[in-house]
Amino acid sequence: MSKLLDKINEDLSKNKLEVRTREARVWLKNHLQRLRVNRTSFLKDKSNHFVRRMLPGRMYFYCYDPKTKESLSFYDRFPMVIPVKKYGDGILGLNLHYLPAKFRIILLDKLYALLNNEAYDETTRLRLTYSLLEGTQRYKEFRPCLKRYLNNYLDSRVIEIPINDWEIMSYLPVEQFIGERASKVQKQSIQSVMTNGI
């Protein structure tokens, strides 16, 4: 994955575009959403930053096979998650794939206000808690994204996504919903946010 992200960053640089700008977002939307990504190769790329544990306020990508998949109407086989809380057996986190790319960016923009620093390097993380998200309507887009993930049901190694690549990952079509089309899941998420705030 690092190779793919490096290539995209190189293309942004060639076009004189900086991440987190409107121009870069337009470019990413136009160039990445139709891109075909081999998720399995993506997860096996040795240039990735693999980690053994997920920490709140960072972003991760992995393959997941839910314990309760038989009772779920749908689920994302390849979540892209920002953990909110760590448990002994897993995490509670925001899987941004439950939102369309435009709303992922809206939520990320709001969450960037919670960064512990503005270095945008390996020391940077979100100071994120469930009570903070729940306590205000400001982050209402988080609700359909909040999911529980159990360590024993991870089906691949876990890749940590560097913060400078969060927006690129937000546009990459790497989600794979089982049981329903991604577009329908995302539409339902936005409808719930807009009508109920949940």
Residue type, 38: N
Could you give the count of Cα atoms lying within 13 Å of 115 in the half-sphere of its Cβ? 16
Nearest to 27 by CA among 37, 18, 39: 18
Nearest to 97 by CA among 114, 115, 78: 78
What residues does 161 pair with on adjacent strands?
Answer: 59
Order the strands of the 146-150 sheet from edge to edge.
Answer: 50-51, 158-161, 59-61, 80-87, 90-95, 146-150
Could you give the count of Cα atoms lying within 13 Å of 147 in the half-sphere of its Cβ? 24
Per-residue pLDDT, 197? 56
The per-residue pLDDT for range 27-72, each reduced to its tens digit, is 999 999 778 888 988 888 888 899 999 999 999 999 999 999 999 9
d(CA 28, CA 102): 11
The model carries a pTM of: 0.93
Identify the burial level of 47 via C-beta atoms within 10 angstroms of its C-beta, where 0-12 means exposed, 13-18 middle and 19 or more buried: exposed
d(CA 66, CA 97): 16
Residues 6+ apart with CB under 8 A from 66: 72, 75, 153
pLDDT band with cut points at 50, 70 and 90 for residue 161: very high
How far lies 54's CA from each of 29, 61, 91, in Å?
A: 28, 10, 8
The per-residue pLDDT for range 96-139, each reduced to its tens digit, is 999 999 999 999 999 999 999 999 999 999 999 999 999 888 99
Instruction: Count CB atoms within 10 A of the CB of residue 153.
Output: 15
d(CA 28, CA 61): 19
Unique residue bearing structure tokens 């002994």: 88
d(CA 103, CA 139): 11
The per-residue pLDDT for range 65-89, each reduced to its tens digit, is 999 999 999 999 999 999 999 999 9
Q: Once rounded to an integer, what is the mean pLDDT over residues 166-182?
A: 96
141's tokens:
């887009």
